[in-house]
Amino acid sequence: MLPTELCCVMGYLSFITTKSKQFQAIRRSPLSILITTKSATDLEKPRSNSIAMAMAIKLSLLLLVFSCSLIPTFSLFEDQVGFMDWHQRYIGKVKDAVFHTQKAGRKRVVVSTEENVIASLDLRRGEIFWRHVLGANDVVDKIDIALGKYVITLSSEGSILRAWNLPDGQMVWESSLSGSKSSKAFLTIPANLKLDLDSPIFVYGGTCLYAISSIDGEILWKKDFIPEGIDVHQLILSEGSNVIHATGVSDSSEFNTYEIDVKNGAVLNHAKTSFPRGIFGEILQISSDKSVALDSSQSTLVLISIINKQIHLQETHVSNLIHGVSSNTIILPSKLSGIFSLSTDTFIAFIKLTDEGKLHVMEKFDKKVVVSDALPLSENEQAFALVEHGDSNIHLSVRLVHDMSSNHLKETVKMDHERGFVEKIFINNYVRTDRSHGFRALIVMEDHSLLLLQQGEIVWSRDDGLASIIDVTTSELPVEKIGVSVAKVEDSLFEWLKGHMLKLKGTLMLATPDEITAIQKIRLQSSQKSKMTRDHNGFRRLLIVLTKSGKLFALHSGDGHIVWSTLLQSLRQSPQCPNPTALKLHPWQIPHHHALDHNPSVLVVGRCGLSLSSPSTLTIIDAYTGNAVRNVGPTHSTVQVLSLPFSDSEEQQLHLLIDDEKRAHLYPRSREAVEIFEKESQNVYWYSVEADVGILKGYGVKNRCDGDEFCFEARNLWSVVFPSESEKIISTVTRKGNEVVHTQAKVIADEDVMYKYISKNILFVATVSPKASGPIGSTTPDESVLVVHLVDTVTGRILHRMTHLGSQGPVHAVLSENWVVYHYFNLRAHRYEMSVIEIYDQSRAENKDVLKLIVGKHNLTTPVSSYSRPEVSTKSQSYFFTHSVKAISVTSTAKGITSKHLLIGTIGDQVLALDKRFVDPRRSLNPTQAEKEEGLLPLTDTLPIIPQSYVTHAFKVEGLRGIETIPAKLESTTLVFTYGVDLFFTRLAPSRTYDSLTEDFNYALLLLTIVALVVAIFVTWVLSERKDLQEKWR
């Protein structure tokens, strides 16, 4: 009796699963699991391939293909959004801010950032009202607000002026200002100037001065300064006058001042004075008719005053003004009327211009002071903010411009040490409840975060450093500790049951709308997701990201919250390290065996300076706490960082850092590491790409350097020289180091086996003819040739070389297993194309012979040497692809069994998943029955873009720069982290989750069903017994 009941349960199980997601019954069939586990065990001895295994693979492949059905999509249900993905929006480091608080219902601040974002932020909470990313080439120069309702942005060196509607961020108008020469860009929006019901905006850019209508963006008049050969440094528009003053410097070092009529651009007056020494930096306006500048030697201050339409220059030596002044004097660009600030190596001095025209030093501060622009409080009162640094706090003071000693406001704010120093401050005032002036300050910190200070507190903060990620790596979370209290278990058990009862109600459609929202909430905020311990499936991980500011963040993959963040001391500005830049992030220690002894750690490599030969710094950071374990440097320069596949007894990964003199430095610097390395040094090779000269070079280890046992000299083993008249390197791609390939063999339709040419040392190089290296459309198809090469980086052999006529870059490529897919532009077809090259090993092709395999006369178990003559064959095919592409990546899984998807970062800042089968070179117009069974699709000229296969679904990852894939422990699943200005994380199952139940699988319902069935069995059993008894009694 029981087996039938069980069958019933099984049937019900499959019914539930089918209901919860489509086609899962097939996926979870025990057969497919059996086969996949079989092939997984085969992985241990990958070289012992045999036909039998190939058959098994074929079977499993077939099954996979079968289970994938024809068109695999990731389409989510609406309620699954946010269940395993998260999206975070950032803006980047703020460089300019304009407050909009007067007469506005919603207090907001409009900011422009170094990521070329303009955004309107809520001043109360710091949230983004609206945001626009202008793109990498459209640098925002200036922003301002016009007419109280438009945000005006000037970008691309003063050549594009746009107006955005302040409440909703819609673009109102855009004007293109075609200047003749690149120059500085200024934007002046007069407050109360009216010209025939219009308020003009004055823009200087491309050596032209424009007056532009703020209503529709039309150019009212234009004045070109090119004939005069003058570079304008400032525009002054006095309050209430109809004259605009433009002060500039001509090539022959003359000061020029123009008085220009605001109505028609006519020059009313032109004055000039010669100043042969030339000026350094900018001219700063300090009052309506006076400006100050530094001469080119940075030692003399020049006070420029315009009296009776004549320029008067007054020179003051800086050392006369401030005694014991050192070099590197600059005028800080803070606009304070009547005073200006001068920065030297050691301190900042505030200098006042007295009514008599004398300069007078008011106050000196040490270097760590940041000053804001002046903020008008009333008719003749102006205030500015000044920030000084304490130990673990900052002192904010607001002072009146005319009275430096007055402290309008003095606040001390406790500041997190990990945010570094204040870099910029913007202030805004408001009227307090007692009618006095209150101030709020927006500060930009060293780690690019943005904070709002008010009443001595941090009202909100944004970690906008995350908008400029340089490198990403991941780390496992700590193993769960045993010994949890009973009460906690009971509580969670109750919660668990409650949750499942709710879900059960939902499944049976008995839930009220309130309960449905509760279910959704439970699903999204499941504590499982953001737990700080390792999970069985490997979904929970720490994403460790290195940002441009030199701050390292650890994000939890469950919900994206920041677990820890640390501002690396080695990447902060210091006398030893004047211009630090973060370079690379590598996993340093990945504990397996001694998981409890050590925490995993990461290596951060930075460089102190802009040239390749500048010294570098190394820091090792504990991945669980964010503490620096070790700091090295500044030491030798670093051009390349190689992670070697060896680790020492503490499981520290061996790394080679190549300096600019081609010497290899071994890390960790220990005896043991050297011993390990020397044992293997004969098999260590690396290469360098010298893109500017068009040479690839390969190196091997030669001998130790003199006097340093951790340094090794390199020897040049090979070089590939691209002729400079016909080929220019534009892109190089290698395989990911941690990629796992499951099988070397590929079974094709006619029961034949092809062996993949799998080498970790393949380099894909794309070159174009020098004429075609410009943007698309700059050359004719006949002149542009794209050549792709597959190079073995151990021997420098070119394995394959192919020419695409009439094509040009930019080339984006991804190399995985034995194939490379690349994206480029076909000028003849006027379309983007994607091509695939698959490379197969012919030297193993004879291993199809069963008899040989039985006798053991096959070469599958012999180690492969790169020095053998490569016998390869390639297959390739090209397809049209509609989008232009920002990045390409490929899914990677733990054992490499699951089929692969290409992840394409499209121009619309979304990520598209494209099944690799679409870019199979073996697709033919009319596939045979056998080929169809294999899963080969009929040939089409274009790759399909299926809207459901956007993994980012409704979100956009603005300014997308990279897509990182991380294998989960579960074979079917891969984790995808996409970064740009925004961050997006999700979990993908390219062949669907064939190896696990979905997370929303209702265990309670299953349990209940089983219980109900058991009860039913007993009830019917009792009833039938009773009936039998009655029958017998009759």
Contacts to another protein by CB under 8 A: 682, 693-695, 700, 702, 715-724, 726-727, 787, 791, 795-798, 800-805, 826, 829, 833, 835, 842-843, 845-846, 848-852, 859, 862-865, 867-871, 873, 876-880, 925, 939-941
Query: How many residues would you count in the chain?
Result: 1034
Output the smallest distance, CB 61 to another protein, in A: 23
DSSP state of 610: S
**Strand-pair category, 469-475 with 457-462:** unpaired
Output the smallest distance, CB 508 to another protein, in A: 29
Order of strands, sheet of 108-113, starting from the edge strand that comes earlier in the sequence? 94-100, 108-113, 117-122, 128-133
Structure tokens given for 517:
């929202």
Structure tokens given for 399:
């002072």
Output the smallest distance, CB 103 to another protein, in A: 59
Sign of the C-alpha dihedral, residues 956, 957, 962, 967? negative
* Sole residue written with tokens 């190939």: 54
Nearest residue (CB) to another protein, 835 versus 892? 835
Q: How far apart are CA 42 and CA 743, in angstroms?
A: 9
Output the smallest distance, CB 926 to another protein, in A: 11
Output the smallest distance, CB 827 to another protein, in A: 13
Task: Assess contact for 974 and 893: CB atoms under 8 A.
Answer: yes
Q: CA-CA-CA-CA torsion for 317, 323, 327, 331, nearest 10 degrees?
A: -60
Nearest residue (CB) to another protein, 263 versus 828? 828
DSSP state of 339: E
- Nearest residue to 725 (alpha-carbon basis) of 676, 673, 679, 769: 769
Nearest residue (CB) to another protein, 534 versus 932? 932
CA separation, residue 431 to residues 39, 386, 438 (Å): 73, 20, 6
Nearest residue (CB) to another protein, 152 versus 785? 785
Nearest residue (CB) to another protein, 39 versus 878? 878
Q: What angle do CA 637, 642, 648 make, to 5 degrees?
A: 110
Q: CA-CA-CA-CA torsion for 991, 997, 998, 1001, nearest 10 degrees?
A: 150
Output the smallest distance, CB 799 to another protein, in A: 8
Q: What angle do CA 578, 322, 257 make, to 5 degrees?
A: 85
H helix or E strand, kind and range, residue 1030: helix 1003-1033
Output the smallest distance, CB 740 to another protein, in A: 22
Nearest residue (CB) to another protein, 167 versus 781? 781
Q: How far apart are CA 545 and CA 543, in angstroms?
A: 6
CA contacts within 13 A on the Cβ side of 491: 5
Nearest residue (CB) to another protein, 349 versus 937? 937
Output the smallest distance, CB 535 to another protein, in A: 40
Paired strand residues for 86: 985
| Contact residues for 998 (Cβ-Cβ < 8 A; gap 6+) | 20, 21, 24
Q: How far apart are CA 524 and CA 529, in angstroms?
A: 9
Q: How far apart are CA 440 and CA 448, in angstroms?
A: 19
Output the smallest distance, CB 795 to another protein, in A: 7
Sign of the C-alpha dihedral, residues 1028, 1029, 1032, 1034? negative
Output the smallest distance, CB 765 to another protein, in A: 10
Nearest residue (CB) to another protein, 92 versus 796? 796
Output the smallest distance, CB 804 to another protein, in A: 5
Structure tokens given for 937:
């699709």
Nearest residue (CB) to another protein, 579 versus 716? 716
Output the smallest distance, CB 646 to another protein, in A: 18
Q: How far apart are CA 876 and CA 681, in angstroms?
A: 36
Nearest residue (CB) to another protein, 879 versus 918? 879
Nearest residue (CB) to another protein, 241 versus 726? 726
Nearest residue (CB) to another protein, 833 versus 964? 833
Look up residue 400 and give its amino acid.
Answer: L
Output the smallest distance, CB 659 to another protein, in A: 19
Q: How far apart are CA 590 and CA 571, in angstroms?
A: 24
Output the smallest distance, CB 700 to another protein, in A: 7
Nearest residue (CB) to another protein, 253 versus 726? 726
Output the smallest distance, CB 20 to another protein, in A: 24
Q: How far apart are CA 308 and CA 162, in angstroms?
A: 37
Output the smallest distance, CB 641 to another protein, in A: 25
The 8 Å CB, 24+ separation contacts for 176-181 are 177/203, 177/205, 177/206, 177/208, 177/210, 177/219, 178/206, 179/205, 179/206, 179/207, 179/208, 180/206, 180/207, 180/208, 180/224, 180/226, 181/206, 181/207, 181/226
Nearest residue (CB) to another protein, 113 versus 874? 874
DSSP symbols for 768-805: E-GGGGSSTTSS-GGG-EEEEEEEETTT--EEEEEEEE
Q: How far apart are CA 401 and CA 384, in angstroms?
A: 7
In degrees and rounded to multiples of 5, residue 513 shows phi and psi of -55, -40
Output the smallest distance, CB 718 to another protein, in A: 5
Q: How far apart are CA 327 and CA 956, in angstroms?
A: 48
Nearest residue (CB) to another protein, 740 versus 939? 939
Nearest residue (CB) to another protein, 316 versus 726? 726
Structure tokens given for 941:
């000229």
Nearest residue (CB) to another protein, 358 versus 801? 801
Output the smallest distance, CB 851 to another protein, in A: 4
Nearest residue (CB) to another protein, 174 versus 871? 871
